[in-house]
């Protein structure tokens, strides 16, 4: 708290010192983005923005002129008129005309955005509490995209860390969505548990990801680059912690990336399913815990009272006879607990369970191997 107040006070005064040049750097307007659609949206936004600004200037201008000139202290006598049919017709008609002239381009743009046909590539984005899963349908590749480790660390409320020093705080992931540029890409959105929304501002739209339904969208990225966004529909505790990062590359790079990724995945799968030492399992497990479990069960396995059960000292993670139950819970989930069997390889699950059964004073000494998990899957 004292840290908070000290920095706040300093910042408050610093505010008055900010040179005008810095204010000029402030981002005030909508982004133009990186796709033809985002540009169209920006243009339409500017049109309606100018219309309302001008309307505002006129309306408020008349009002303030009146406020300055028609005041009692100037000794004016109030007029007595109370209506004017002509005026009333005019100021009904003009807004109507404005609205129609705005609705026409909006309709055109909407129709353009609605057309997902002739796409060269389809990606299915599935929202999970709290991460994204991407399926590249044509390339038969699946990724899970979690908040990056550095953000996880900085977002824990501990002394000595300052997110201000990290440019991509809460805006980076471990596995970005890699997409080719200059290609029409169809993006399907859906969710596994609750509503989420997939949004990268530079692509020009957001679309809800709703469990049980699949929404259809498309994009066409002009330039290579990294484009960042966030989940945009409240989805519980971790809603602020499920960023989206799109890495746009050339088609050739994309193809190489896919091939490399697939190789890496099968290699990882193979190596993950080997028997490992307890130390290695613990290190690996700690990393997996951080990426997948920490948001709910917390850094010290203490959980959140009433919502997310503690693991430290809990029967399921400490008693021998519950080992089977522990594995089952991680594989198949229960209530809010997701089914990690769908998301993680056997070796990963083995590692994280080993970690959970030996960290934070849960010194059971149990060592779980990938083979135990694959046995439990059957």
Within positions 207 to 226, which residues make up the interface with other proteins, using CB under 8 A? 207-208, 210-216
Site for ligand HEA contains 55 (CB under 6 A):
yes
What Cα–Cα distance (Å) separates residue 366 from each residue in 78, 175, 324, 358? Answer: 90, 31, 12, 7
What's the closest the beta carbon of residue 148 comes to other proteins, in angstroms? 12
What's the closest the beta carbon of residue 235 comes to ligand HEA, in angstroms? 13
For ligand CUA, give the closer residue by CB, 147 or 248.
147
Site for ligand HEA contains 59 (CB under 6 A):
yes
Site for ligand HEA contains 52 (CB under 6 A):
yes
Within positions 102 to 161, which residues make up the interface with other proteins, using CB under 8 A? 102-103, 106-107, 109-111, 113-114, 124, 154-157, 161
Site for ligand CUA contains 357 (CB under 6 A):
no
Counting Cβ atoms within 10 Å, is residue 174 exposed (0-12), middle (13-18) or buried (19+)? middle
Within positions 156 to 215, which residues make up the interface with ligand HEA, using CB under 6 A? none
For other proteins, give the closer residue by CB, 153 or 175.
153
For other proteins, give the closer residue by CB, 20 or 79.
79
For ligand CUA, give the closer residue by CB, 127 or 338.
127
What's the closest the beta carbon of residue 120 comes to ligand HEA, in angstroms? 31
Can the peptide bond before residue 130 be classed as cis, meaning omega within 30 degrees of 0? Answer: yes
Buried b / exposed e over 181-210, threshold 16 CB at 10 Å, is: bebebbbbbbbbbbebbbbbbbbbbbbbbb
What's the closest the beta carbon of residue 266 comes to ligand HEA, in angstroms? 42
What's the closest the beta carbon of residue 239 comes to ligand CUA, in angstroms? 4
Site for ligand CUA contains 338 (CB under 6 A):
no
The 10 Å Cβ neighbour count of residue 109 is 16
The 10 Å Cβ neighbour count of residue 45 is 14
**Stretches 173-181, 194-202, 275-283, 359-367: which one binds other proteins (CB under 8 A)?**
194-202
243-249, strands of its sheet edge to edge: 177-180, 243-249, 225-230
What's the closest the beta carbon of residue 301 comes to other proteins, in angstroms? 16
Tokens for 254? 């994309």
Strand (E) positions, 98-249?
Answer: 121-128, 131-136, 141-145, 177-180, 184-191, 196-200, 205-209, 215-220, 225-230, 243-249
What Cα–Cα distance (Å) separates residue 234 from each residue in 117, 130, 145, 203, 210? Answer: 30, 11, 18, 20, 12
CA 159 from centroid of its chain's CA atoms: 26
**Stretches 47-55, 61-69, 105-113, 327-335: which one binds ligand HEA (CB under 6 A)?**
47-55
Site for other proteins contains 10 (CB under 8 A):
no
Residues touching ligand HEA, count (CB under 6 A): 7
Interacting residue with ligand HEA among 30, 47, 98, 310 (CB under 6 A):
98
What's the closest the beta carbon of residue 94 comes to other proteins, in angstroms? 8
């Amino acid at each position: 708290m004292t840290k908070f107040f000290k920095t706040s006070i300093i910042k408050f005064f610093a505010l008055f010192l900010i040179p005008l040049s810095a204010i000029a750097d402030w981002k005030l307007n909508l982004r133009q983005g990186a796709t033809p659609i985002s540009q169209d949206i920006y243009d339409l936004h500017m049109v309606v923005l100018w219309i309302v600004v001008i309307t505002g200037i006129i309306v408020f201008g008349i009002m303030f002129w009146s406020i300055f000139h028609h005041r009692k202290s100037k000794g004016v006598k109030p007029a007595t008129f109370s209506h004017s049919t002509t005026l009333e017709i005019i100021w009904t008609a003009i807004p109507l005309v404005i609205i129609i002239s705005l609705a026409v381009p909006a309709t055109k743009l909407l129709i353009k955005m609605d057309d997902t046909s002739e796409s060269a590539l389809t990606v299915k984005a599935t929202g999970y509490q709290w991460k994204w899963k991407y399926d590249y349908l044509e390339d038969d590749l699946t990724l899970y995209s979690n908040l990056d480790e550095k953000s996880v660390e900085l977002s824990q409320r501990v002394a000595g860390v300052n997110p201000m020093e990290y440019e991509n705080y809460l805006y980076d992931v471990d596995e970005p969505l890699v997409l080719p540029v200059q290609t029409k890409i169809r993006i399907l959105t859906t969710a596994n548990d609750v509503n989420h929304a997939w949004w990268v501002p530079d692509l020009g739209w957001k679309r809800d990801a709703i469990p049980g339904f699949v929404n259809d969208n498309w994009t066409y990225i002009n330039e290579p680059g990294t484009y960042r966004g966030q989940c945009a529909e409240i989805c519980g505790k971790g809603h602020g912690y499920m960023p989206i990062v799109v890495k746009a590359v050339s088609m050739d790079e994309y193809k190489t990336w896919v091939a490399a990724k697939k190789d890496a995945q099968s290699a990882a799968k193979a190596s993950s399913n080997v028997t490992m030492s307890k130390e290695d399992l613990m290190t690996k497990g700690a990393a997996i815990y951080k990426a997948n479990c920490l948001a709910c069960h917390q850094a010290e396995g203490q959980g959140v009272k009433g919502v997310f059960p503690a693991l430290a000292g809990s029967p399921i993670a400490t008693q021998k006879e519950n080992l089977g139950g522990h594995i089952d819970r991680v594989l198949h989930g229960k209530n809010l607990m997701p089914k990690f069997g769908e998301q993680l390889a056997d070796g990963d699950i083995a590692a994280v369970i080993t970690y959970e059964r030996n960290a934070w004073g849960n010194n059971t000494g149990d060592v779980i191997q990938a083979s135990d998990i694959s046995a439990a899957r059957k």
